[in-house]
Amino acid sequence: MYRERTSELPGAVVWTVTRAAAGPGRVLPDGCTDLIWSSRSGLLVAGPDTVAQVADGPAGERYVGLRFAPGTGPAVFGLPAHELRDRRVPLAALWPEPVVAGLAERVASADRPGRVLEAVAAARLAADGGPDPLAAPLAAGLAAGRDVGTTAEAVGLGPRHLHRRSLDLFGYGPKTLARILRLRRALALARAGTPAAEVAARTGYADQAHLSREVRSLAGVPLRHLLNPPPA
């Protein structure tokens, strides 16, 4: 019941979910922040996660979300990403309540609610001057598998300055972001049918055992559970 499309905002994705049954679902860390509308809970902000989060809810609950590229969320929400790390926060805790109430009504009544979220985010980004220009090249370097030192040199920052900027942009330091992005690359290969040993070699893990440890550390379950989830 999950669908997504590429947003008109650079690097962003609009996604929708309707719960077919009650019960928990596992959300893996991805270095992103999301603006989410829930038919039960209203407008929420999902901060950048360091480990998988288990979300629960009743059957029939609907979600519409706008997932921002790593480093974009702070310019939309108006605060450093580390203040939202591993948190789900009502949007009304960040923006004026009348603004949030009006936005919630627009989303709930819209034929294409994702477009409403995109328009609001675009306006916030325009007012703030856009995302920090450091975010995209830094995330791209780490996503490509470059080590932190090489990435820092490429963007012209020293290690300490890079760490501080990463906390503000992504919610955690560059080493943590690199681990999360590497896991995402590994899972994409594994889901495409690549054997685990080859996945480990191609994504920079020391061996298959290292890959398995990282999956458990970040996702909370073995790799086989992510590839073939047990029945609910």
pLDDT per residue as tens digits for the range 190-229: 999 999 999 999 999 999 999 999 999 999 999 999 998 7
Query: How far apart are alpha carbons 3 and 106 in whole angstroms?
Result: 21
- DSSP secondary-structure letter at 87? -
Percentage of the chain with pLDDT > 90?
A: 83
**In sequence order, what E strands does 70-147 have?**
88-90
Q: Identify the three-state secondary structure at position 45.
A: strand
Chain mean position to CA 186: 16
Alpha carbon distances (Å) from 113 to 4, 55, 94, 109: 13, 22, 21, 8
Alpha carbon distances (Å) from 136 to 26, 50, 79, 128, 180: 27, 19, 18, 16, 16
pLDDT band at 59; cut points 50, 70, 90: confident
Spell out the residues 6+ positions from residue 33 whose beta carbon is closer than 8 angstroms to its own. Answer: 45, 46, 47, 48, 67, 68, 72, 73, 74, 76, 77, 81, 84, 171
**In sequence order, what E strands does 163-207 have?**
none
Look at residue 125 and tell me whether its pLDDT is greater than 90.
Answer: yes
Look at residue 231 and tell me whether its pLDDT is greater than 60.
Answer: no
Q: What is the pLDDT of residue 23?
A: 63
Are the CB atoms for 117 and 45 separated by under 8 Å?
no
Closest CA to 35 of 48, 22, 44, 23: 44
- DSSP secondary-structure letter at 217? H
pLDDT band at 22; cut points 50, 70, 90: low
Query: How far apart are alpha carbons 2 and 23 in whole angstroms?
Result: 15
Look at residue 230 and tell me whether its pLDDT is greater than 80.
Answer: no
Query: How far apart are alpha carbons 175 and 189 in whole angstroms?
Result: 21
pLDDT, the chain, mean = 93
Closest CA to 225 of 18, 29, 26, 56: 26
Q: What is the pLDDT of residue 25?
A: 77
- Range with the poorest average pLDDT among 23-27, 78-82, 138-142, 186-190: 23-27
Tens of pLDDT, residue by residue over 135-154, are 999 999 999 889 888 999 99
**In sequence order, what E strands does 48-87 have?**
53-55, 62-67
Q: What is the pLDDT of residue 44?
A: 97
